[in-house]
A and B are shown apart, each in its own frame.
Chain A
């Protein structure tokens, strides 16, 4: 880990950035190829606004390079330092409180979730679960968001507890799958699609590296835990519990 890249001076930084830009070009090459192929060969149309597209591409490459470069010196050490500090402190309650706050706080305002909840409210009003007034829809969407955010908060709590105790992950996930399948049978049909999708939209680009670093940091600080076996898995919990939460919400409302 190179924590102190900026102390090596500008040339070092420029070199590292150049490497990241090459990496970003490689990561983005498939997208460029797919878009170009379908635009030119399948649809046989020129690009609508080529200058804008080119400027956008340069932004994407530079942005991805900066992001990856900043991960190693910013987000990863931050998550690890936090995990180590909390583990040394030795207060399980404080750690679990942090876990809940991180899960809830990062989810409740997530733009992708806001969009999906609004769609879900439209479906619910069409299916006549709720009135078709805007107020009823807004309330339903807000409740959905809170349900999902609480579910993610509980997921991180459960996931951290699992790391502390060293429980094997597959029992939880398989148990969760069985629960989702059983609830699918009883939940109203209209909410099932939205519930399944809610698992995928909760974990954003900033949250994932931070939570992963937190889990791995915890597992490598606590004696007897293996970072590979115990450190990963927090994201998996965070994508499973929202489905259970939304299906449950659909059964109650």
Chain B
């Protein structure tokens, strides 16, 4: 218990250190440029303290409960799969448990990502409820799941990273021209917010563990790239979700009109 308290204090300090530059910049601009007191400063201060405390508590909990389990599991899964194939050449099919784990972890960590929750809340508020925050988060999480699983497949097969990323970019460009204007900025943003506090450590451990255990891969070179996958694929899944929803709505409207006419 005492150890936990000490850990909490340490995490709180490091969180404070991370936000110090933000606080300094905000105070300088507020006092130096705007020269005005913030409206409702008490509410903002209380809320900011809650965000800090909450984040520190969240991080310490992750370190206690999730990261050790997630990291050990990533390593063990990669090792078990690695042993099975060490005798012969690397066959990508032998790693199916790893892909399954990658997809499940990618999905689950993204749903819990605090930054994504924040953006989804904002999107709901701005769109007047048209964007369903839960739907948005599920779409993003599906994208991360597919991306991370494909990224693991790439590490196992050792195929060049640029092929995948360039192909993904081409798909995103095509989708951009197919989808409605209003969803595009939000979809692009969803790529950047997925990879924060929860997702990066677990996914990075998975990539490093896999690269270290697959014969012929170097963790230094092949361990990179999973985060890139996790940042591009959500853009695709959000745009895909929006395009499908739009087409469905159009199709439904057309059918209704036909029913009225007949």
Interface residues of B in 17-66 (CB under 8 A from A): 17-19, 21-22, 24-26, 29-30, 33-34, 36, 38-40, 42-66
Question: Which residues of chain A are within 8 angstroms of B43 by Cβ–Cβ distance?
Answer: 3-7, 73-74, 77
Q: How close is A98's CB to chain B, nearest CB, in angstroms?
A: 5
The contact string, 1 if C-beta is below 8 Å from chain A, for chain B 121-157, is 1110111000000000000000000000000000000
Does B105 make an interface contact (CB < 8 A)? yes
Given contacts A102-B25, A206-B19, A212-B119, contact A227 B126 (CB under 8 A): yes
Q: Does A224 lie at the interface of the complex (its beta carbon under 8 Å from any beta carbon of B)? A: no
B121 engages A203 (CB within 8 Å): no
The listed residue (B49, B76, B188, B197) touching A233 by CB distance below 8 A is B188
> Which residues does chain A contribute within 8 Å of B185, judged by CB atoms?
169, 228-233, 236
Check: A148 CB closer than 8 A to any chain B CB: no
Interface membership of chain B positions 85-103, coded 1 if the CB is closer than 8 angstroms to chain A and 0 otherwise: 0000000000001000100
Is the CB–CB distance between B57 and A66 below 8 Å? yes
B119: chain A residues within 8 A (beta carbon): 208-209, 212, 235
Q: Which residues of A contact B97 (CB under 8 A)?
A: 42
- Complex contact B220–A236 (CB within 8 A): no
Taken together as a complex, chains A and B put the C-alpha atoms of A145 and B103 apart, in Å, by 30
State A77–B42 Cα separation when bound (angstroms): 11
Counting residue pairs across A and B whose Cβ atoms lie within 8 Å, the total is 349
Known pairs A27-B112, A60-B61, A200-B230; A77 contacts B18 (CB<8 A):
no
Partner of B47, one of A43, A58, A77, A106: A77
Q: Say whether B51 contacts A52, CB under 8 Å.
A: no
Question: Which of B168-176, B240-248, B251-259 contacts the other chain?
Answer: B168-176
Cβ-closest chain B residue relative to A45: B76
B240 to chain A, nearest CB (A): 16
Residues of chain A within 8 A (CB-CB) of B162 are: 181, 184, 192
Given A193-B225, A231-B126: A35 in contact with B38 (beta carbons within 8 A): no
CB pair B39 A81 closer than 8 Å? yes
Contact mask for chain A residues 37-74; partner B; CB cutoff 8 A; 1 contact, 0 none:
11100110001110011111111111111111111111
Q: A94 and B44 in contact (CB under 8 A), knowing A31-B112, A58-B61?
A: no
CA–CA, A49 and B68, complex, Å: 10
A76 contacts across to B, CB distance below 8 A: 118, 122
Q: Which chain A residue has the least Cβ–Cβ distance from B189?
A: A235
Note all chain A residues with C-beta closer than 8 A to B55. 63, 67, 205-206
Provide the bound-state CA to CA distance between A210 and B18, in Å.
Answer: 14
Q: Considering the chains assembled together, what is the distance between the CA atoms of A245 and B258 in angstroms?
A: 54
A92 interface hit (Cβ, 8 Å): no
Q: Are A196 and B60 in contact (CB under 8 A)?
A: no
For A177, the chain B residues whose CB sits under 8 A away are 169, 172-173
Q: In the complex, what residues of A have CB within 8 A of residue B60's CB? A: 56, 59, 63
Q: Does A119 contact B (CB under 8 A)?
A: yes
Give CA–CA (A126, B45) in the complex, Å: 48
The prevalent SS among residues of B at the interface is: helix
Contact of B26 among A72, A78, A184 (CB under 8 A): A78
Identity of the chain B residue whose Cβ is nearest the Cβ of A206 in the assembled complex? B19
Q: B198 contacts which chain A residues (CB < 8 A)?
A: 31
Which residues of B have CB within 8 Å of A210?
22
Please report the C-alpha to C-alpha distance between residue A70 and residue B60 in the assembled complex, in whole angstroms.
18
Cβ contacts under 8 Å, B24 to chain A: 105
**Chain A contacts for B45, CB-based, 8 A:** 74
Residues of A within 8 A of B225 (CB): 193, 196-197
Q: How far is the CB of A223 from chain B (nearest CB, A)?
A: 17
Determine the residue in chain B with the shortest Cβ distance to A126.
Answer: B220
Whether A109 lies near B21 (C-beta < 8 A) is yes
List the 9 closest pairs (A to B, CB-CB), nearest first. Answer: A74-B47, A56-B65, A56-B64, A59-B61, A66-B54, A70-B50, A63-B58, A193-B224, A63-B57
Selected A-B contacts with CB under 8 Å, 21 pairs: A3-B44, A31-B66, A31-B109, A59-B58, A67-B55, A69-B54, A70-B51, A73-B44, A74-B48, A85-B34, A94-B33, A101-B29, A197-B224, A197-B228, A200-B192, A200-B200, A203-B193, A226-B182, A228-B123, A232-B126, A235-B188
Other CB < 8 Å A-B pairs besides A42-B101, A227-B126, 12 of them?
A48-B69, A59-B58, A59-B61, A70-B49, A74-B43, A74-B51, A169-B188, A181-B166, A200-B195, A202-B192, A210-B22, A233-B185
